Structure 1
């Protein structure tokens, strides 16, 4: 019996790997911070892998410090390494730009994509009592952005883009207190980013009348982010689709991984997705349409699966 140790890293999200060539596969799964939705995804993926392989794949979930760290670890990893990160970070690493300036490594050029996972989705949640139904209406209102997170940075960026800088009162409240602060009138709204449906937005919609703002196509173009539509009925009281933005996230490995392992990983993910969605609706947000958000090349083993399954791939992905 062969044994292998597969290390999976995740800063915003999660991934897993298996190969039919192994009778037993042991996986160390480095996830996002404990308590986050992406850490929960890691736990779900571990359970799905165990169920899908009759216990032949054992996944141990560990906390991760972030997507940049996950990409950087490619330098020291081999063919047993899988990580998840926004595709844009891979492109920056391969170009030696931004946070990767002066830290280039030939192994970054060997990074290959496998499959998408739930995107980081922007939610601008306003109380119905505030009367706000669009971004212009946020002027003079008290809004919680949080601190240090992707959602906080992105929310601040949007306020500047849409002419609201200095015109919105920013609440000094932790994002973890957003829902009670909204219910007791301390704030008029809050901004959060995560997979959809987002747990804190579900809670807010269930306990108070809220409006989740939509962005126009022109506003989405200004943000330079991917467009994402949250279907009507996702949240309590939501009668219409919500058009917003997202930061795509995907699972990656390197060319050091065997084609067979990458094929089995990709195949098992897509075949397990429907079952995972029965208990965690955020997996419903992953479909073939998200494949277009994966920039750069896919792993040859993943390409084999997508070809068999009839997925349309871009020339860049192949």
Structure 2
């Protein structure tokens, strides 16, 4: 069963779209590089919006080079702009800090959240042959981190955080080579971050016995990231839940978007989420609890939906 042929919200379409000013509202959705899981999520969202609003909302997917670019473009885009980024980057942009230092703009203060999407989830994937069952066992092993990605940066941070610097050999290879290198015994494991279930982890687990490492509560706390549980059975051979860390990711727009459009996008997302999960399991990892990870303000149109749905928001979010 797919969401293409199971439209349980059809009766709500008229009321959902009545407040949208034009017969057809066009939205530009900017998320990630073509070919990435987050780009594919955008494609799925676009289809869900078209079906869920009976064609009243049409979403065009635009390729992105990353979250920083997405935030930066909020300065110049119009009312039809929706983009994805971790909430922490919005806070940095509004404060003019880190990668936004010297690039501040009053437009950043107009950024407003709509709804969460699958989080960037850390996976430490080890071959069963390596014998590693927890992160402290990485000592003396060869690990592939990749280059330039959140997973690579975060993986390097954790290696230092847990006293493994200079005790782990970092393979000089691209993450795209990780599964083959693991299968051939060239590496003992690799680190990747993305939505779960992660396609490269699925591929690795299907081709060779692997262990995806869990973190202890103390280790999770030390990372200062959000705790996340990957349910048992997500990957081949995984018999227990995996406790790991994540970086929340949220779909944003700006105050230029009218309230009715923001309401329609938010309501259609939540109404469509279960059907999207039927064909793309990473949507199953999104639930109302993730709304608590949204730092800063939520768009008034989305706030209207959350109030109707009985979902609690903080004063800071409204």
TM-score, structure 1 as length reference: 0.92
C-alpha contact 1:298 1:317 (8 A) present in aligned 2: yes
Give distance in 1, aligned partners of 2:91 and 2:176.
32
Give distance in 2, aligned partners of 1:103 and 1:133.
44
Q: How does 1:1-318 map to 2 (within 5 A)?
A: 20-318=20-318
Give the match's secondary structure for 2:75: helix
C-alpha contact 2:30 2:82 (8 A) present in aligned 1: no
Give distance in 2, aligned partners of 1:256 and 1:27.
13
Segments of 5+ residues of structure 1 without an aligned counterpart are 1-16
Give the match's secondary structure for 1:44: helix
Give the match's secondary structure for 2:276: helix
Q: What is the count of residue pairs matched by the alignment?
A: 302
1:126-160 deviation digits (Å, cap 9, x = unpaired):
01110000111110011100111110000000000
C-alpha contact 1:144 1:170 (8 A) present in aligned 2: yes
Give distance in 1, aligned partners of 2:18 and 2:31.
17
Query: Residue 18 of structure 1: CA displacement?
Result: 11
Give distance in 1, aligned partners of 2:113 and 2:104.
19
More displaced stretch, 214-223 vs 90-99: 214-223
TM-score, structure 2 as length reference: 0.92
Give distance in 1, aligned partners of 2:102 and 2:31.
26
C-alpha contact 2:229 2:242 (8 A) present in aligned 1: yes
C-alpha contact 1:18 1:25 (8 A) present in aligned 2: no
RMSD of the alignment, in Å? 1.5
Give distance in 1, aligned partners of 2:29 and 2:251.
12
More displaced stretch, 52-61 vs 203-212: 52-61
C-alpha contact 2:125 2:211 (8 A) present in aligned 1: yes
Query: Residue 30 of structure 1: CA displacement?
Result: 2.7
Give distance in 1, aligned partners of 2:305 and 2:253.
15
Give the match's secondary structure for 1:70: helix
Give distance in 1, aligned partners of 2:19 and 2:148.
38
Give distance in 2, aligned partners of 1:144 and 1:70.
28
1:21-77 deviation digits (Å, cap 9, x = unpaired):
321123333331111000111111111122223333333322111111111112112
C-alpha contact 1:145 1:151 (8 A) present in aligned 2: yes
Query: Residue 232 of structure 1: CA displacement?
Result: 0.8
Segments of 5+ residues of structure 2 without an aligned counterpart are 1-16
C-alpha contact 2:31 2:70 (8 A) present in aligned 1: no
Give distance in 1, aligned partners of 2:160 and 2:218.
15
